[in-house]
Structure 1
């Protein structure tokens, strides 16, 4: 190695030589495989032609077959990689494989043609490759060229915004510490092996091998240290290749293609290491209304924000409006000098700012157009999509706009009726997807002012034509319609719109009609995919895996804030069952299929239960007991508190069934599903510290000791205790209601009355009897107060809550309330599923283990055959052993 070369030049030379060696070896090795396969096949044929004795044949042929299989598998894997399909067949339980078999080559592999916006006829589509390259080159050269902005204008804009908190001095020092070599090696090891390499062609696997060579350690440390501290990089780090991926819309328009940067893997290791350092600081540096790419923040919170605001605004008849803002090429228009000034305002160290500036800007870019690279484009602005650090940098670049809106005292946004100032919501964002709320025309003017000021200093551009507006109260306002038309905003959503609008992919219906339309669309989507995957010949285990992870997963995202009808969930359940069981006779219950695999089921998700499980995210936020409350969490608690009409105890409706009725609980509201999810936990609360008069607000099931699993009360978990018990305020006593006092379920309550007093098959909680049989002498809290703290403590310490597991949540009700079917014979189920049985045979054997084959016993019950006795059993003198079962003489498996 030439010692006069810099560490960066030495590293480039090592990579260049490594690439040449790999390519040369690969060509020779592929050729060697082909020649070896031919030689082995000839050797095998010669052996077979000699007709050797069986003993010799068994010894010589299998080793040759194994070598042939290994080489042919390697060639198949290479062909798979060349075809652009990154999957390998590892059996029917591999979901990636199952999905890939139906995957079609997408449009990004071939670009049909582009329009030239500078041509005399901008609608003409050019399909010649040379013309397409020129159009792409000119488009991106213009996109990546800076529109100069005076530095003093940027600084004046940022001076009007308060950035608090900022990067502290200790945090700044940690950001600048040199990378440890072990961290570099570990990062290379942890990066995905299938990631596309950059211009040097070296993937993470090869880099990990190079990084483990002791002779390269010292100058590798210098390469990464110089990059961090001085902003000096290997030349290949600034040579970017771009692959265009299609978005929605007209694909002859280059604006509808997303440029993904293919960066060298050694450079991505550096940016991954760099990203890990400021990432923990983003939770404080980025305002809580920005949910994108910040650890601990969840995209669903923004969807829930809009959902709750729509529910409250409907009740309040709020006159406001919501706006879904659209930025044109948001990442590609970020101005370097603006981004650097924002970093300085946040007090990032100068060395880190210099490093980011040198790495992300003034790069050489070439775009791949149908396999051909365009001429070099000089990138003066824009963040490269595909780099791990880009999302954090974009959040920082967008932060001044969000802060300017949040800090504007004249901007009202949405404030709940009688709510305090901390509940005010002006705008929320997920990366560049911004949703702004305006109360009136003055608010709209303030919003446009902030957008204009931000555009003027950042080179960003808002697209009014793609901006969408939606009514907060659902009504259609003629005044708002006129204002929106004057602003060139064509889309205005309200309750009279033909369909619901979407924000971040979440459907947000105003009316039952819009909700039903969403349900029909989702059902049609599920039917289509079930039909597609039905063409694949899979075992029942494979179909269950497909249903869980590839088909039903398409609707779970929407279901977090969507309240479907029970009929919809039943239809989803029916579609899932029919796809998995394939209408085989005899039928097996859906409860059996939803059991865990090691309990004889298939682990199939039950749609109604899964929908409840998705609401646990919101329940944890509601019942979270800590000192730090996010704005969204405070807003959610306020919403629930409005239902209880008791701001001191906002969670009261979860414990008190009669309080679960309010005008806020519209059929489209998700809150009733939160109550149902809470009830499904089936936690038995000790109510001995609750005032007697308040006991009647709790579910009736809580008044009893554990009930039999088949008791009818399990079907009515939300039935209030007041329907069966009465509180006499004059004597401060409880009593059982008598026949003429039953307003609901009189027949069942008469039976319950007898079960308690006569049959003694049902027992009340022990603490209740003294309040029924005699006057209460115990000092009780005032009847108007509710003691919630003991109940909250019981909730948070219960096993179902403190050790919450989605799978346990989905299965525990089966174990509690259903007559669980017996285990399918005394079989080692793990051994059964791992045994390499042909797929059609596996399904048959699973049905045999469940006793769900059309044998004589099952057919006789349906009247198809006259006798339940197996026609072969009478021929046996002793039980006949099979693979897993023994056919008994009395003929149960005929």
Structure 2
């Protein structure tokens, strides 16, 4: 039994105890659960409920860490098993920002347990742009409430009981009768709406949508409800106006003449000053009132003259006017109205690199993040290749420039590298090329491994080997290498990565014989070698 007011009622508590029911009020420790959603009376109860979800996710992460998943596997698990635990609750409850940040930190530590690592925004990119398609929980928490905005953009339905409540509650908190000021200038209404977490959440969502502009097809009914501070053109040098002053405070609509007239009654000093700025010092038969987005209203001086074209006066039973002009680009060749956006399109629109995803920069301009250098076809092939599990993460980090090479660590002035020189050969600086290909201690292993896989004629030297790692081809003029060659190349990458760090951790020299034995003794790697090599073994 739940107390709707939150107060304790001893009579109801005793009745509940007689029938074995549980009583819940504002003094309870945590929220009670109904259909998976929390019913709570204060933020402390909500915090306890959400904290229990966080603990379950943290425990699940600890169990999954023992499986040593690759970047491909961990990203799939993060979306399907970890973050999916929160979607049901976030669909209704506006979770606090600190809790969302904690969940994001847990997921990031699971997907990227290494350092240096790409930025969070990078791994939230779609896979065809080099990311891992991780869903940003902070964006998703807003996007899941987009359905309430979509319902307000459509005509009311008898089955929708929530939208009328949202409209009425908005009117009580903001003092505006129309929803248009909320949709066009949500930031200006954050202060009056912040008293309720749900309305504040919707306000944040609206502020992240593409800006809504005025339309010349709108009826006068919608124009009159706009705040003066927002509706008037910035070309007017106006004093600071409170949001309570609307366009209807200085002009009125005449239903018989079908035009606007200035208010004839005595206005407050501030509105009189605004009206004098609009009309100017000279009398005219017809004034032009300039609104933002190049909308102009013709206002006659008296009834003797009227505008040549009256504004549309169709009546409407909707909460908002037609929003067909409110659109955004969702791909290189497609646009979509904002109320029709899907959750995926909405999150993609909010990504910091969305414009670069939409139109990739051309050389010499460098995109950010680095993964956008490669076309979507490159990344699509990378994720679909039958690479060995152990090769995915180091190869993906190489393409993102996030390897822990001594040159990179030394440049960042960390305590992990006292010198940029390679710790194995102690001859040259250890950059990405030197780490995988250029180190003289690793060259004999490359020679033996390529012979083992019978790829010496395909990758005869360092330049072709490095080019194959970066571009899946041996030169800019050559064809793409087949998946079979790249899969065997992935075996070499996995062994170099594993044995390099084994040498560093155990502080011993590189042995190409030991590295080659790791390659040949691995059942999966050996099975990828041509038949004559496996038969010889």
Q: Same fold (TM over 0.5)?
A: yes
Q: Write out per-residue CA displacement over residues 520-563 of structure 1, whole angstroms, 9 at most, x where no aligned residue.
A: 21211110111111111221011000000111111111111212
Q: Distance in 2 between matches of 1:695 and 1:573?
A: 41
- 1:729 is the counterpart of 2:314: no
* 2:237 is the alignment partner of 1:653: no
Does structure 2 retain, via aligned residues, the 8 Å contact 1:643–1:653? Answer: no
Partners of 2:184 and 2:211 within 8 A in 1: no
Change (3 A) 1:791 1:800: closer
Which residue of 126, 130, 150 maps to 1:596?
126
List per-residue Cα deviations over 1:135-159 (Å, max 9, x = no partner). Answer: xxxxxxxxxxxxxxxxxxxxxxxxx
- Decide whether the 8 Å contact of 1:644 with 1:652 is kept in 2: no
1:780, 1:692 → 2: CA distance? 18
1:630 Cα deviation after fit: 3.4
TM-superposition CA deviations, 1:623-662 (whole Å, max 9, x none): 322554534444444444443445x535653444344455
How many Å apart are 1:695 and its aligned residue?
4.8
Deviation of 1:616 after TM superposition, in Å, equals 1.7
Distance in 2, matches of 1:679 and 1:538, equals 38
Larger RCO (CA under 8 A, 6+ residues apart): 2
Q: CA deviation at 1:833?
A: 1.4
**Are residues 800 and 793 of structure 1, via their aligned partners in 2, closer, same or farther at CA, if it must alter by over 3 Å?**
closer
Counterpart secondary structure, 1:671: helix
| Partner in structure 1 of residue 294 of structure 2 | 767
The 5 A counterparts of 1:841-880 are 841-863=391-413, 864=417, 865-866=419-420, 870=431, 879-880=463-464
CA contact (8 A) 2:58 2:106 kept: yes
- Structure 1 residue 687, shift from structure 2 partner: 6.8
1:795-836 deviation line (CA, Å, top 9, x unaligned): 489825354222111121223579741425467222211211
C-alpha distance in structure 2 between counterparts of 1:733 and 1:501, whole Å: 56
What does residue 475 of structure 1 align with?
7
> How big is each residue's C-alpha offset from its partner over 1:848-886, in whole Å with a ceiling of 9 and x where there is no partner?
111111235423322333476755759899834343327
- Inter-CA distance 496–692: structure 2 relative to 1 (3 Å threshold): closer
Structure 2 residue aligned with 1:527:
58
CA gap of 1:579–1:516, structure 2 versus 1, over 3 A, is same
- Of residues 805, 808, 812 in structure 1, which corresponds to 2:345? 808
Q: Are positions 1:830 and 2:380 aligned together?
A: yes
Match of 2:173?
643
2:22 aligned partner: 491
Q: Tell me what 1:514 maps to.
A: 45
TM-aligned CA deviation for residue 686 of structure 1: 3.0
**Whole-Å Cα distance in 2 between the matches of residues 817 and 574 of structure 1?**
26
Distance 1:638 1:766 in 2: 29
Could you say if the C-alpha distance between residues 873 and 825 of structure 1 is closer, same or farther in structure 2, counting changes exceeding 3 Å? farther
Q: 1:703/1:569 Cα in 2 relative to 1: closer, same or farther (>3 Å)?
A: farther
Q: 2:84 aligns with which of 553, 565, 568?
A: 553
Q: 2:244 aligned with 1:696, yes or no?
A: no
Q: 1:703 and 1:481, CA in 2 relative to 1: closer, same or farther beyond 3 A? A: farther
Distance change in 2, residues 1:554/1:766 (3 Å): closer
Q: Offset of 1:518 from its aligned partner? A: 1.7
| Residues 766 and 651 (structure 1), Cα distance of their counterparts in 2 relative to 1, 3 Å cut | closer
- Aligned partners of 1:539 and 1:842 also within 8 Å: yes
- Cα distance in 1, alignment partners of residues 129 and 194 from structure 2: 42
1:501: Cα distance to partner?
Answer: 1.1
Matching residue within 884, 888, 893 for 2:469: 884
**Relative to 1, partners in 2 of residues 1:611 and 1:703: Cα closer, same or farther, differing over 3 Å?**
farther
Residue deviations 1:577-603 (CA, integer Å, cap 9, x gap): 110011x22221010000110011110
User: Residues 135-214 of structure 1: matches in 2 within 5 Å?
Assistant: none
Asked if 1 retains the 8 angstrom alpha-carbon contact of 2:420 and 2:430, the reply is no
Separation (CA, whole Å) in 2 of partners of 1:482 and 1:664: 38
CA distance in 2, matches of 1:663, 1:597: 38
Partner residue in 1 for 2:142: 612
Residues 692, 732 of structure 1: alpha-carbon distance in 2 compared, 3 angstrom cutoff: farther
Deviations 1:369-397 (A, max 9, x none): xxxxxxxxxxxxxxxxxxxxxxxxxxxxx
Flag structure 1 segments of 5+ consecutive residues without an equivalent: 1-468, 705-719, 736-763, 772-776, 782-786, 889-893
* Match in the other structure for 1:686: 214
* Distance of 2:387 and 2:115 partners within structure 1: 22
From the superposition, tell whether residues 600 and 796 of structure 1 become closer, same or farther in structure 2 (CA, over 3 Å).
Answer: closer
Q: In the aligned structure 2, how far is the partner of 1:800 from the partner of 1:529?
A: 40
Q: Secondary structure at the match of 1:471?
A: coil
Q: Aligned-residue CA RMSD in angstroms? A: 4.5
- Cα displacement string for residues 216-244 of structure 1 (whole angstroms, at most 9, x for unaligned residues): xxxxxxxxxxxxxxxxxxxxxxxxxxxxx
Per the TM alignment, residue 604 of structure 1 is displaced from its structure 2 partner at its CA by 0.3
Q: Give SS of 1:515's match.
A: helix
Q: SS where residue 696 of structure 1 aligns?
A: helix
**Alpha-carbon spacing, 1:795–1:633, altered in 2? closer, same or farther (3 Å):** same
| C-alpha contact 1:800 1:809 (8 A) present in aligned 2 | no
What is the alpha-carbon distance in structure 2 between the residues aligned to residue 549 and residue 696 of structure 1?
46
Structure 2 gaps, min length 5? 248-269, 278-290, 299-305, 312-317, 329-334, 357-366, 422-428, 444-460, 476-499, 501-537
- Distance 1:475-1:653 versus aligned 2 partners, 3 A rule: farther
Query: What's the secondary structure of 2:86's corresponding residue?
Result: helix
Deviation at 1:510, TM superposition (A): 0.9
SS of 2:100's equivalent in the other structure is helix
Question: Which aligned pairs between 1:113-124 and structure 2 lie closer than 5 A?
Answer: none
Maintained 8 Å contact 1:573/1:606: yes
Q: Determine the C-alpha separation between the residues in 1 that align with 2:85 and 2:420.
A: 47
Q: Tell me: CA distance 1:580–1:730, structure 2 relative to 1, closer, same or farther (3 Å).
A: same
SS of the aligned residue for 1:497 comes to: coil
Q: Is the 8 A contact 1:569 1:607 kept in 2?
A: yes
Larger radius of gyration: 1
Which secondary structure state, in structure 1, belongs to the residue aligned with residue 227 of structure 2? helix
Structure 2 vs 1, CA of residues 817 and 831 (structure 1 numbering), >3 Å: closer, same or farther?
Answer: closer
Give the SS at the match of 1:799: strand
Q: Assess, with a 3 A threshold, how the Cα gap between structure 1 residues 765 and 649 changes in structure 2: closer, same or farther.
A: closer
Equivalent residues of 1:586, 1:858 under 8 A apart: no
> Which residue of the partner structure matches residue 676 of structure 1?
204
Alpha-carbon distance in structure 2 between the residues aligned to 1:611 and 1:620:
16
Partner secondary structure for residue 729 of structure 1: helix
Structure-2-length-normalised TM-score: 0.57
SS in 1 for 2:62: helix
Q: Spell out, residue by residue over 1:264-290, the C-alpha distance to the aligned partner (whole angstroms, 9 max, x if none).
A: xxxxxxxxxxxxxxxxxxxxxxxxxxx
What residue is the counterpart of 1:220 in the other structure?
none
